[in-house]
Amino acid sequence: MKNVRRVSEKLTVTGQVQPDQLEQAIQEGFKSVLNLRSPDELGFATDEQQLVEALGLHYVHMPLKLEAIDEDLITAILNQLEHIPKPAIVHCAAGFRSASIAILSLAIQEGLTAEQTLAKARQLGFDFFDYACVNPQLKQRFVQYLNRYAQVAAIAS
């Protein structure tokens, strides 16, 4: 698929998926789509769930609005992500939120610190965390969540 980034064998992220990408996703073995877009966003595909399910893929819609982002919402999204069939595509409008969630999931599984996670993100080609245009609230919540849960996950495993 075009304009996608593989985070791991189980997770791939992108911006808004197009119907031809979904058909290609089936050919590539994907089993699920996690949509982080809010229905009030410009360009939201109102028929996406029907299209995804008609193609035989599992579909989950968990809107992640920057102004509503908090620990409970992040935890709920990560729980959904953990339980959907893999490999999965996680998408939003441009790929920032989907990449953040996928990287966060990976970091918690691996028990990475915030610094290690940002290094891993850069290694995977997600250097946008360093850009001034990235919403500071997204980055702040990302780092706060990592600082709280990544170390806990490492101790528990």
For residue 123, give both structure tokens: 């290694």
Question: How does the average pLDDT of the chain come out, rounded?
Answer: 87
Instruction: Report which of 140, 128, 28, 149 is spatially closest to residue 86, judged by C-alpha positions.
Output: 28
pTM of the model: 0.88
Strand partners, 69: none
Q: What mean pLDDT comes out for the span 88-111?
A: 91
Q: What's the rounded Cα separation, in Å, for the pair 124 and 122?
A: 5
Q: What mean pLDDT comes out for the span 45-66?
A: 96
3 pLDDT more than 90: no
44 pLDDT more than 90: yes
Tell me the pLDDT tens digit for each residue of 60-96. 999 999 888 888 999 999 999 999 999 999 999 988 8
Residue 8: pLDDT band (50, 70, 90) is: very high
Averaging pLDDT over each range in 2-6, 90-94, 120-124, which range is the top one?
Answer: 90-94
Q: What's the rounded Cα separation, in Å, for the pair 87 and 64?
A: 21
Q: What's the rounded Cα separation, in Å, for the pair 122 and 5?
A: 12
Residue 141: pLDDT band (50, 70, 90) is: confident
For residue 101, give both structure tokens: 């969630």
